[in-house]
Structure 1
Amino acid sequence: MSDLTKLTLSINRGTAAAGKQYAERAGRSLSSIVGDYLDALTAATNPAPLSVDVASLMGIGSGPADEHDWKAYREARQ
């Protein structure tokens, strides 16, 4: 027995129709697509905590002062 719940959503009629067509082309149910999207959305906003070993490595390396300038940092170290 799966742990499903029935949910009623109100969305734009055109969006619903496009979603149903997409689901049909993908060979999936619209419910499974919405469920997977919500899973991905909540995983992105609530990432799994780092393990103790990985967390202990935080901050031990040095990098560029400007975090967005990795290309220049790599070139300078070659």
Structure 2
Amino acid sequence: MNTKLTLTVEKSVIERAKAYAKHTGRSLSEIIENYLDMVTKEDPTTELSPKLKKIVGVVNLPHDFDEKKVLRAELGKKHL
């Protein structure tokens, strides 16, 4: 079931998002729905691939590194 959602977004962001949607042949609603679906999915049962298991622990990140914050910022850049 679809539900209407009202958002407040900077005008320039909306204009860029609409242009991106038109360029990719999708609706803005579809793009936003897919993004929200992606960032809210957390599947703790997903097993790490063997290749990923080999590199786990190779990178040392700062103690205060916020992975979710960085991911959201990068996905925002990628999708707009």
Shorter-chain TM band: 0.5 to 0.7
Q: Could you state the TM-score of these two structures normalised by the residue count of structure 2?
A: 0.57
Tell me if 1:67 matches 2:57.
yes
Structure showing greater Rg: 1
Number of residues paired by the alignment? 52
| Per-residue deviation, 1:25 | 0.5
Question: 5 Å matches for 1:33-52?
Answer: 33-43=31-41, 47-50=42-45
Out of 11, 20, 28, which is 2:26 matched to?
28
Q: CA RMSD in A?
A: 2.3
| Per-residue deviation, 1:50 | 1.8
| Per-residue deviation, 1:49 | 3.3
Q: Which has the higher contact order (CA 8 A, sep 6+)?
A: 2
Name segments (4+ residues, structure 1) moved above 4 Å. Answer: none
Unaligned runs of 5+ in 2: 48-53, 60-80
| Per-residue deviation, 1:68 | 1.2
Q: Could you state the TM-score of these two structures normalised by the residue count of structure 1?
A: 0.58
